[in-house]
């Protein structure tokens, strides 16, 4: 009688305890894909920063037009669509990397949970409803497909926009920046 051993995948961590809270499990799974997490986060930060900075570029166009400096107005005016293109390219890049992060994290989460469930005995499944257990794994899948986009394009983008706007206001007037931060 031969013994079969299960081959543990690179992404599964059988020696470590799976975190019980959702954010802990989210970090546990996401940090196994550090390249995608870093590249997505960097692309969102750059895109949000440049997006806010395009407003300053528009201000430069208006200032040059008011000063009757046609050369500068034309320069900033021609750079404005290029800046918008670059911003949109970074948002597209963040979407591409974010899709990889989300899909790879969903796969890792499913593999981790199924591997954990397969370690239980037959009695474990008899005492619990198997359909309920499988629906919990499905809930993790749905949560990951919502958490990554919400974190990236809602929370992180909002935070970066606030910080960049604060820096622009602070460069103009410290008191106005303080009022902006308090609001």
- Specify the CATH number for the domain of residue 76: 1.20.1560.10
Q: Tell me the whole-structure pTM to 2 decimals.
A: 0.78
CA 154 vs CA 15, 139, 161, 168: distances in Å: 35, 21, 11, 21
The proportion of the chain whose per-residue pLDDT surpasses 70, expressed as a percent, equals: 87
| 1, part of any domain | no
| 32, part of any domain | yes
Tell me if 90 sits within 8 A of 47, measured CB to CB: yes
DSSP string covering 60-122: HHHHHHHTT-HHHHHHHHHHHHHHHHHHHHHHHHHHHHHHHHHHHHHHHHHHHHHHHHHTS-H
| 66, part of any domain | yes
What pLDDT is attached to residue 157? 92
pLDDT tens digits, 55-81? 888 888 999 999 888 899 999 999 999
Q: For residue 69, how many C-alpha atoms fall within 13 Å in the half-sphere facing its CB? A: 11
| 31, part of any domain | yes
The domain total for the chain is: 1
Q: How far is the C-alpha of 29 from the C-alpha of 12, rounded, in Å? A: 9
pLDDT tens digits, 77-94? 999 999 999 999 999 999
Low-confidence ranges of the chain (pLDDT < 70): 1-16, 125-131
| 17, part of any domain | no
| 112, part of any domain | yes
Q: How far is the C-alpha of 177 from the C-alpha of 166, rounded, in Å? A: 6
Q: Which domain holds residue 46?
A: 22-182
| 34, part of any domain | yes
Question: Element (H or E) spanning 148, and its range?
Answer: helix 130-150
């Amino acid at each position: 009688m031969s013994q079969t051993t299960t081959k543990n995948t690179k992404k599964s961590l059988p020696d470590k305890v799976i975190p019980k809270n959702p954010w802990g499990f989210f970090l546990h799974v996401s940090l196994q894909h550090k390249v995608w997490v870093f590249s997505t986060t960097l692309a969102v930060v750059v895109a949000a920063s440049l997006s806010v900075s395009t407003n300053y570029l528009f201000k430069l166009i208006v200032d040059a037009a008011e000063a009757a400096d046609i050369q500068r107005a034309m320069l900033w005016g021609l750079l404005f669509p290029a800046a918008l293109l670059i911003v949109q390219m970074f948002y597209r890049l963040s979407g591409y990397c974010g899709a990889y992060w989300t899909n790879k994290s969903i796969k890792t989460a499913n593999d981790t949970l199924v591997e954990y469930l397969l370690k239980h005995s037959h009695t474990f499944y008899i005492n619990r409803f198997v359909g309920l257990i499988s629906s919990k794994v499905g809930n993790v899948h749905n949560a990951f497909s919502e958490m990554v986009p919400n974190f990236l394009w809602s929370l992180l983008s909002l935070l970066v926009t606030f910080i960049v706007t604060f820096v622009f206001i602070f460069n103009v007037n410290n008191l106005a920046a303080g009022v902006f931060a308090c609001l």
